């Protein structure tokens, strides 16, 4: 009997540790591959990420759906070593930032809201797009929750001089991976699917 990771590897065309290249020599991955093989990566090499790669990742993040197309997000690219090293002083699960060469802070701008309260869903969608884009580009990342933990929100506001009307939502360490992980076991669960009513 096949293990779950092997079964998933057979279902998608590329696994996390595989490299699939286009005729032009670029690593490529389709959407389903990215969804099934993405993993949280917490170890990174010292190689820096090019500005053009950041642009592509953030283009993907900004392509996320949002309520009424309000697009209430802002993104802060952090590559200052002192700033990255300071975050673990108020975020207990962010020690991997001391290895990462960069991180992206996803923020919600309350002044851009057309539909009050939906900025959280909008920034969640942007964060997931960002994670998938990072993986598709051959990089590694992990989602660090910021909002609604008040001490984390306050810590990043102070550290990065974030305006009062902007709320730090998620922090994504990004880097070239120094670890590889197999796809997770199949999470499909028919007991969690309902038709027409509970």
So what's the pLDDT on residue 64? 98
Q: Are residues 93 and 25 in the same domain?
A: no
So what's the pLDDT on residue 6? 46
Provide the domain count of the chain.
2
How far is CA 63 from its chain centroid? 14
Put simply, whether the predicted model's pTM sits higher than 0.75 gets the answer yes
Are the CB atoms for 46 and 66 separated by under 8 Å?
Answer: no
d(CA 84, CA 117): 29
pLDDT over 90 (residue 36): yes
pLDDT-based confidence at residue 113 (cuts at 50, 70, 90): very high
So what's the pLDDT on residue 1? 42
Q: Are residues 68 and 129 in the same domain?
A: yes
How far is CA 138 from its chain centroid? 13
What's the full length of the chain, in residues? 198
Q: Are residues 48 and 62 in the same domain?
A: yes
Given CA atoms 55, 179, 171, 5 in this order, what sign does their dihedral have? positive
Q: Are residues 5 and 68 in the same domain?
A: no
Q: Give me the domain span that covers residue 24.
A: 1-37
Buried b vs exposed e over 144-174: b needs ≥16 C-beta within 10 Å?
bebbeeeebbebbbebbebeeebbbbbbbbb
Among residues of the chain, what percentage have pLDDT more than 70? 87
Extract the tokens encoding 4.
Answer: 């779950």
Q: Are residues 91 and 169 in the same domain?
A: yes
Q: Are residues 26 and 118 in the same domain?
A: no
Burial class (CB in 10 A: 0-12, 13-18, 19+), 178: middle
So what's the pLDDT on residue 157? 98
d(CA 172, CA 174): 6
Q: Are residues 49 and 130 in the same domain?
A: yes
Q: How confident is the model over 6-19, as pLDDT tens digits?
A: 444 444 444 444 55
Question: Considering the domain boundaries, does residue 188 fall inside one?
Answer: no
| Residues β-bridged to residue 174 | 102, 141
Question: Considering the domain boundaries, does residue 197 fall inside one?
Answer: no
pLDDT over 80 (residue 31): yes
Q: Are residues 18 and 112 in the same domain?
A: no
Q: How confident is the model over 136-186, as pLDDT tens digits?
A: 999 999 999 999 999 999 999 999 999 999 999 999 999 999 999 999 889
Question: Considering the domain boundaries, does residue 190 fall inside one?
Answer: no
Q: Are residues 9 and 76 in the same domain?
A: no
């Amino acid at each position: 009997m096949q293990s779950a990771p092997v079964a998933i590897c057979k279902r998608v065309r590329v696994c996390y540790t595989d490299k699939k290249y286009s005729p032009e020599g670029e690593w490529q991955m389709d959407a389903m591959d990215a969804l099934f093989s993405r993993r949280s990566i917490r170890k990174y090499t010292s190689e820096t990420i090019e500005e053009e790669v950041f642009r592509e990742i953030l283009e993907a993040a900004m392509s996320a759906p949002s309520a009424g197309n309000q697009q209430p997000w802002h993104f802060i690219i952090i590559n200052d070593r002192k700033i990255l090293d300071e975050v673990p002083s108020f975020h207990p699960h962010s020690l991997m930032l001391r290895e990462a060469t960069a991180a992206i802070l996803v923020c919600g701008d309350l002044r851009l809201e057309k539909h009050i309260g939906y900025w959280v869903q909008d920034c969640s969608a942007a964060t997931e797009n960002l994670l998938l884009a990072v993986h598709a580009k051959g990089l590694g990342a992990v989602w660090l929750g910021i909002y609604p933990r008040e001490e984390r929100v306050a810590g990043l506001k102070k550290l990065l001089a974030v305006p009062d009307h902007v709320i730090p939502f998620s922090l994504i360490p990004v880097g070239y991976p120094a670890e590889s992980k197999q796809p997770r076991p199949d999470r499909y669960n028919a007991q969690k699917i309902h038709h027409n009513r509970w």
